[in-house]
Amino acid sequence: MVRVPFRGRAARTPAGIDDHETRAMVAGEASAAAAETEVPAAPAPDRTAAAFFDVDNTMMMGASLFWFARGLAARKYFTGRDVASFVWQQAKFRIAGSESSVDMHTVRDNALAFVADRPVEEIVQASEEIYDELMADRIWSGTRNLAQQHLDAGQRVWLVTATPVELASIIAHRLGLTGALGTVAEVVDGRFTGRLVGELMHGEAKAQAVRALAEREGLDLSRCTAYSDSTNDLPMLSLVGTAVAVNPDSELKAVARSRGWTVKDFRTGRKAAKIGVPTVGVAALSGGVVGGLISLRRRNRWPF
């Protein structure tokens, strides 16, 4: 395999555009353009079919961004106490349903701001270390086996996740997958600006990314398969010919049953208990765990 290196990214959402659908489209197209790809030495036998896997609670126990934040906290980007405090705060907001549109706009605009002016290479190196330290042992073997079945059939396999594309690509590479579609941060002169290109890779943005990648790679979406644990990914699951619910939440399980989708559950009671806190991190991700961290940082005037 030959790894296609990360391409520089200076694109950003056009000024003045605040429409969610437009931002999701921009995010999807940017993610597809930034997707790192494993180029096989010989063409895969099946070039028009592929598989797309959500990461959090689908490929990995808990939320990848939670572990990413924890790893960065260990490297003094911020403190573990602040991570835990914000995750709990976001969980309460989610349960109470009290997040306003203003909160969400702030989260979106501040997401990944904690890496502002950091060199891309620095964050990539930290991401590699964090994956090995905190994430490698949390991969669901059952889901990994599903991905391998697609690879063995000569199909390509991409991760599709709200986590930063740099980290998502590392996870994909470590698992021997084709590549990853993730949240794209604006990069200028090899450094992060702290702004997003479009939206977080979430909900409709995932579907837009898959569409854009399918067009670029010549995929027939009716022959593709998507895997997820959450109803948040219904746009992506509904886009492909085959949808599979993996470790599904109650809402997705109900949808899967009503639509005749396959359900795979690799959890046990013990494992479900172990991933309880990172699962809260998933909800926080939707609400912007990173945006909250940057708000904490600004309030306390941390020098990083």
Catalytic residues: 54, 56
* 227 DSSP assignment: E
The CA–CA distances, whole Å, from 172 to 50, 94, 131 equal 14, 30, 11
Please answer whether residues 182 and 202 qualify as being in contact, where contact means their C-beta atoms are separated by less than 8 angstroms: no
Q: What is the dihedral of CA 208, 282, 34, 28, to 10 degrees?
A: 10
Which residues does residue 94 pair with via DSSP β-bridges, in sequence order? Answer: none
Q: Are 202 and 64 in contact (CB under 8 A)?
A: no
Euclidean distance between CA atoms 179 and 250, whole angstroms? 29
Place of tokens 């939707």: 286
- Max Cα–Cα distance, the chain, nearest Å: 55
Identify how many contiguous H helices and E strands the chain contains and give both numbers: 13, 10
